Structure formats: structure tokens, C-alpha cells
Structure 1
Amino acid sequence: MSRSAKSTAAVLITGGVLFTGLGGPAAVSAQPLSPPGISIPDFGSLGNARPVVETPRLASVDNFRDVGGTGQGYATAEGDHVTRGVFYRSSALVPNDQDLAVLTGLGLTAVYDVRTVEEVAAKPDRLPAGPRYLGIPLLSGDLGAAVAQLKSPADAVAFMQNMNRSFVDDAATRAGFAQLLTEMARTAGPQLFHCTAGKDRTGWASALLLSIAGVPEGTIFDDYLLTNEYTAASMKVTYDQIVASRGEAVAQIYKPLLGVDRSYLEAGLGRLAEKYGTVDRYLTEGLGLSRGTIETLRHKLITAPAPQPRNGNN
């Protein structure tokens, strides 16, 4: 691998972007892009995601947010709302002093780090006092070899789509997600889970939680796309670093790796539908979760609507 490719890989890691897990030459799929006519996300592009309000914004952990959303919490198909303040998601947990104080105030009981051993070594977490830390490495592979295989933006898009498919296809990765969700079910109190950029492994876990809660698919995609808003500034910094070191053409190749696109999550969910039919079957058959674990997560996630006052004539 060339020195320039290694340099780019280092920039992508320090920029908070994940590209491990699919390995060398096999990382790029020969399959056509799905859906056709994909547009590479611009920095700050939200798609049709809901506005960002209320959730604490951390300057040094830019993709930190509440899985439950904002306000009353995401609405479910049954008219409930997802409980806020129970599960949080984020990018690598390296807060400055001010943000550390905010995290401390949340009263977290557990932090789950799903990064690889190499990622953790490059950027160790800085934890608030109190929570239990548990590393659950998801994905593995040669980052440099994977980056070196990307020759076009289309290759990078296919790479991201295949990463999401691996959340369904790879047995070891499924086991990691099963461990994560099981720990979250059995642990009391507010909890936080994260990867490096807080968008791929973290995005998949969040999508599963929202599905368990009964949140409509459209809202799940909106929540997924919020990464492009939360991390717009850091994506721009990483992009500019690549431009400075290797030029605009190379930066354009890697641009799809920096954010998220609807097709990335669609690829994973499409594979899930092919192999399991429903998210529920993926959870029970693919991840091996017990019905009790799923119901415990659902109970934690759902806030029943407040009773409506009765009319005096009733």
C-alpha cells in the first residue's frame, strides 16, 4: 500500500470515520448501486429528517444524541412515544471538560464501546465518573487495504452498503449486536453506546431499538440521516484534510464514507428482509435474542400516552 493511501486512512480514522470490517479486495461490491441514481450526501444534508432541537449538543462529541429523539420523543405507530433519557448514542467519547460535565449530569450507568481494539487504542474514551465501561468490538479488517481498493465514489457507496449488509450476513457481527442489546436490556438506568463516527454500527443499533419501539420506518430513516447534520462540521474538516494531502479528486472518492445516505441503511434492511423477512425474526433468529429481552427493551423504550381527561358527560 502506498504512503499516500496510509495517510488517507489515518485521516479517516482520526476524523472519526469507520471503514473497518469488510477487509481488502472484497470490500468493493460488483453489485449495482441501490437505489439507482443515488446522490452522494452533501455536508449538512438532512434529507427529510426532523429538525434538531432540545437534545444537548456536545461540541467535542458531535454525534451525541438521544435515541428517543426530541420533545415528547419519537411517536410510535401505536400512538406512544419513545422514552427520552434512557438510551443515548454518540461518536467516540472524547469530551472536553464542559461536555464531560454534561455527560456526568446524565447519570449514565453504562457505556458500550463497539469499536475495534485498534480504534480504541487510537482514540480511547474519556468517561464521566460512574458508568460501567464495556467494549464489544464489532467488525474487523485491514483499513488500509480497504481504502486502497476504492477507486471512485461509486466504489465508496458500495462499500458503505456492503458494511450495512454485513450487520445481517456476518455471524460474529450479529453476535456483537446481540451482546449489546442484551446488556442494554439487563442494565438499569441511562446508557450510552457508540462507535467511532456514531453513524454505522451505532446507526444500525439505533434503528433496531426504534424498530423494537414500534417507530415507523420513515422516522427511523429520518433519525439515521441526522448524522449529516450533527457531524457536518467535522466531515468538512476531514474532507479538507484529504484535499490538502491528496487533492480534490481523491477527496471526492472518499466523500461518501464521511456521512450517511439513505441507501446505506436500505441495503442493510433489504438484506434483513431477504434473509429473515422481519426485524423481529432477525432479532430472534439472527441475533438469538429471547422474547423476554426484546420485551424488556420495548418496555424501556415506550412511554404510554397520558390519560385524556374525560368529558363531564361521560
Structure 2
Amino acid sequence: MHRSSIPLRTARTAAAIAVAGSFLFAGTAAAAPGAFPAFGSSGFGSSAPDVVDTPRLASLDNFRDAAGGGYMNKYGVRMQTGVFYRSNAISPSDPDLAVLAGLNLTAAYDLRTDGEVADKADRLPGGVAYVRVPVDSGNLNEIAELRSPDEARRYMADANRAFVTDPAARASFGKLLTELAETPGAQIYHCTAGKDRTGWVSALLQSIAMVPEETIMRDYLLTNKYTAESIAKSYEGLTASQGEAVAEIYRPLLGVEAGYLQAGLDELSARYGTVDNYLRTGLGLSRETIVTLGHKLLA
């Protein structure tokens, strides 16, 4: 390694740790769910459904209802709100903890790895069952090696493809969806930033409910609206500590882009053909589990 490259590599490593630790990955009553069509990334931009009626929590900025405000499916049936919630790491302030308590949650599912949990443990209302369903959050060494924003985007796309290709990830997603189906009452699932692993689960649930693909993608992109202030602060922090050049490399990791989710959906289509086949063959869900989820999801 040339001597002149050491400071930049050190800066990148420090930035990677900061991004991964503070923001990155915070991650069908369908009789016959179909394949996700190729959404493409054009035409979505910052477009998103209206911000939902779920209480906004200052200390959990990506907390929201997986059903939005009651998304309409392709057959004119609305998703049921107040059933499944999604979030970033659950470390609420006292007032926000009281709001969570008022939702009568029965279970919280944590998709984070051991290191992420050790960094910031969940804080839940009394009586809420805490269930670990870890999904790998990505390789920190790979993040440190990123050299451009485009490489960062490819990293995020690959992470979403891994939701389809990685057997351990599929096992965890299968376990989570089974738990959501079998456990009564309102439930919440989350990762660290509530955008990648959590976003994938939300897309699957909305697909099970037969929500139009445009709505699924727009709901995914709502992370950029909900967490806009956190994204700006993270970028400003990286710029101040590592310089603008390094901050620009990591900017694509701070939010979401349509291409990230699309990469996972394209991989799903290539390997499994349909969402139903991915759920049943890839995740090992029974038809009964899928139908049960559909009944819960649809009003």
C-alpha cells in the first residue's frame, strides 16, 4: 500500500464504522400471489403515499404502520392498520414509550445481529415479548473498501439480493413471517435503521396483501421522508469528521433508493419466478401461514 493511501483508508474505515453503527440497516389473503413486476427506478423519485396516521415518534423516526394509512390492494380491499408495525431500533424516550404501550403490542421482533443489539438494546413496554430473528447486516470490511457512490449503491443492491440468495437470511425471514402469522395481537418488527431488512419484510407483507407494486415501492421510499433529518445529520457528521469526499461515498447508504429494493425483487423473480414460490419454497412457509397472514393484513 502506498503511504499516501493510508489516511484515506483510515478515514473510510472510520466512516464505515460510523455509518454501520449509527444508520446503515437500522434493515398474499392471496390465493395466488404473483411475481413482482419489474418496477424500475424511474418515475418513483421522491414520490410517496401520504404520511400515515400512525403516531410520529421523535425518538423512533422510522416508526410506522406496515399498512400505511390502509393501503388499497388491487381488488379494492384495504390493508388493516394497527396489526403490524415497523421501526428502526426501539430505543424510545419516555413519552414515546408510553405511546408504544398504548398500541397493545404483544411481540417485538429484532432483526439485528448480536453486535447491533449490544450497541443499542431494545426498550419495550411491559408485557411485550422480545424475539430475536437476526439477519446479517452486511460486511463492515466491504463498506470500508467502498471507493465511490456507485460502489455504495452496488453494495446496497447486493445486500437486497442476499435476502433472496442467502439461506440464513431466508430462514430468518421465514421464521419472522411465521411468528407474525401465529402470534395474536399487534406486533412490531425492526432492524437498526428500519429501512433495508425491515423494508424487505414490509414489501413481502404488502405483496401478500396484493397491494399494487407502485404503492409497495413508494412505501419503501418513505424512509427518506421519515428520516430526512437523521440522514442530514449523519451526512453532516461524516463531512465534519471525514471530509466531504468520504461523506459523498457513503451518502447512498444513509437512505434508500428504488434500485436497492428492485435488485432484491429482480433476484426473487430470477430464482423463484413468483413471490408465492419464494415464500413457500425459499422461506418454507406453508399455504396456511400465507393465508393466515392475508387474513390479518386485509380489513
Task: Tell me the TM-score normalized by structure 2.
Answer: 0.90
Correspondence for 2:296 among 284, 294, 300:
300
Shift of residue 209 of structure 1? 0.2
Correspondence for 2:255 among 250, 253, 259:
259
Moved beyond 6 Å, runs of 4+: none
Shift of residue 79 of structure 1? 1.0
Partner SS state of residue 61, structure 1: coil
Partner SS state of residue 101, structure 1: helix
Shift of residue 46 of structure 1? 6.1
Which residue of structure 2 aligns with residue 232 of structure 1? 228
Whole-angstrom distance in 1 between the partners of 2:13 and 2:145: 12
Please say if 1:90 is aligned against 2:97.
no
Which residue of structure 2 aligns with residue 50 of structure 1? 49
Shift of residue 140 of structure 1? 5.2
Indicate how the Cα distance of structure 1 residues 140 and 261 shifts in structure 2: closer, same or farther if over 3 A, else same.
Answer: closer
Shift of residue 148 of structure 1? 1.6
Which residue of structure 2 aligns with residue 63 of structure 1? 62
Partner SS state of residue 197, structure 1: coil
Indicate how the Cα distance of structure 1 residues 89 and 174 shifts in structure 2: closer, same or farther if over 3 A, else same.
Answer: same
Contact persistence 1:101–1:128 (CA under 8 A) = yes
Which residue of structure 1 aligns with residue 16 of structure 2? 9
What aligned pairs does 1:1-314 form with structure 2 within 5 A after superposition?
2-18=9-25, 47-70=46-69, 73-139=70-136, 142-143=139-140, 145-303=141-299
Which residue of structure 2 aligns with residue 308 of structure 1? none
Shift of residue 11 of structure 1? 1.8
Which residue of structure 2 aligns with residue 26 of structure 1? none
Shift of residue 128 of structure 1? 1.1
Structure 1: runs of 5+ lacking an equivalent: 21-33, 40-44, 304-314
Task: Tell me the TM-score normalized by structure 1.
Answer: 0.86
Indicate how the Cα distance of structure 1 residues 301 and 141 shifts in structure 2: closer, same or farther if over 3 A, else same.
Answer: closer
- Per chain length, whose mean CA-contact separation is higher, i.e. which structure has more relative contact order (CA < 8 Å, sep 6+)? 2
Partner SS state of residue 105, structure 2: coil
Deviations 1:242-271 (A, max 9, x none): 101111111111000000001111100001
Shift of residue 35 of structure 1? 6.4
Quote the sequence identity (%). Answer: 54
Shift of residue 141 of structure 1? 5.0
Whole-angstrom distance in 1 between the partners of 2:159 and 2:234: 21
The one-letter code sitting in structure 2 at the alignment partner of 1:103 is L
Which residue of structure 2 aligns with residue 23 of structure 1? none
Indicate how the Cα distance of structure 1 residues 250 and 270 shifts in structure 2: closer, same or farther if over 3 A, else same.
Answer: same
